[in-house]
């Protein structure tokens, strides 16, 4: 994830690509989400708080994408072709669905809503990789300046929905990458409160 993040952000700057910036920002937020899950235990961070933090990170990502795309459209930025970006997104499309599935299963086994929400971050990364790849390839072939930022904006509604569901402690991912885990954060809180 660190290499993916670094390459995507480097390529985004070099190519002036909002869709690559969105993808790189997603990778950064995914790293932060994983950090939240890891810090949950040594810092005695509750599952509810860790899950909310993961949801908040998704909303931060949606804001970054919206702002960078709007600025690119407003300033008439013409993104360059990024072969590195195309390669990184192809790799992410191969790896992220698998990583998401592993995290989802681990979250279900551990009954950890924060880990399940982190799996959503990985699924969202795969979704963004697909959108990013489409935008980068269309930009490389057609060289139409608005394709890149428009591709980035396509992801915003889905990311907001994922963020809302994570904040509510629900399993989420309309892509089907995160199947119902059988774990309900609300039920967990009720069980904990009953103790």
69 compared with 168, residue with greater pLDDT: 69
Q: Which of 13-27, 78-92, 170-184 has the lowest mean pLDDT?
A: 170-184
Tokens 């690119």, located at residue: 72
Confidence of residue 170 (pLDDT cuts 50, 70, 90): low
pTM score of the predicted model: 0.73
39 compared with 188, residue with greater pLDDT: 39
Confidence of residue 73 (pLDDT cuts 50, 70, 90): very high
Nearest to 158 by CA among 177, 179, 174: 174
Mean pLDDT of 137-160: 90
CA 163 to chain centre: 10
Dmax (CA) of the chain = 61
């Amino acid at each position: 994830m660190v290499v993916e993040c670094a390459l995507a952000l480097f390529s985004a700057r070099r190519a002036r690509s909002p869709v690559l910036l969105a993808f790189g920002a997603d990778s950064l937020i995914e790293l932060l989400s994983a950090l939240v899950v890891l810090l949950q235990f040594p810092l005695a961070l509750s599952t509810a708080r860790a899950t909310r933090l993961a949801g908040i990170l998704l909303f931060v990502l949606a804001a970054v994408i919206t702002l960078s795309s709007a600025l690119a459209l407003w300033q008439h930025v013409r993104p360059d072709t990024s072969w590195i970006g195309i390669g990184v997104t192809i790799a992410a499309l191969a790896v992220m669905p698998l990583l998401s599935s592993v995290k989802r299963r681990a979250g279900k086994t551990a009954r950890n809503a924060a880990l399940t929400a982190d799996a959503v971050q990985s699924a969202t990364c795969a979704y963004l990789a697909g959108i990013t790849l489409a935008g980068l390839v269309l930009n490389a072939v057609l060289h139409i300046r608005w394709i890149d930022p428009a591709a980035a904006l396509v992801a915003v509604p889905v990311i907001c929905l994922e963020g809302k569901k994570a904040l509510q402690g629900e399993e989420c991912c309309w892509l089907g990458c995160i199947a119902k885990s059988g774990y309900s954060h609300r039920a967990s809180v009720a069980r904990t409160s009953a103790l």
